[in-house]
Amino acid sequence: MLEELIFIFHRYCSIKKKEPLSDIELLILDAKDYITENYGNHITLPGLSDRYAMSPEHFSRTFKKLTGYRVSEYINMVRIDNAERLLKSGKYAVTEIAAKCGFNNSNYFSSVFKSRKGITPREYKNM
């Protein structure tokens, strides 16, 4: 939640400067929307950089500068937030949630979830 608050604050500060967003800022906002809408799919830095006609290095640097997150961090944040919602619903097994949220490996999903939330997905589901 703290990361989300920092992101919202960063966005607020950008808006408060009362300058129109640059083309690159608009591209990064679009990339964030794309990630949010497609988190269950295979999303990679090379794929995003191709989509926005930038080199992977430039896209990565710009994304980090404007959002405060590395691309992979942001993708995992979106995926874990959605996994958390699905775990709360109680409708799916942990392995199903991992797949629905774009993780090809349920062990990696559990590792990322635990690093972000402090507990395993199974523990979270049983709470």
Domains belonging to the chain, first-starting first, are 2-71 (1.10.10), 75-126 (1.10.10.60)
Which residues of the chain, if any, have pLDDT below 70?
A: 1-3, 5, 7-18
* Inter-residue contact 101 to 86 (CB < 8 Å): yes
pLDDT of residue 22: 86
Predicted confidence (pLDDT) per residue in 13-32, tens digit = 655 555 777 899 999 999 99
Quick one: pLDDT at residue 119?
96
Q: What does the pLDDT read at residue 96?
A: 96
pLDDT attached to residue 1: 63
pLDDT of 17 reads 54
The whole-model pTM stands at 0.82
Reported for 32-41, long-range contacts at CB under 8 A and 24+ positions apart, including other chains, are: 32/67, 32/74, 35/74, 35/75, 35/78, 36/78, 39/75, 39/78, 39/79, 39/82, 39/101, 39/102, 40/82, 40/100, 40/101, 40/102, 41/102
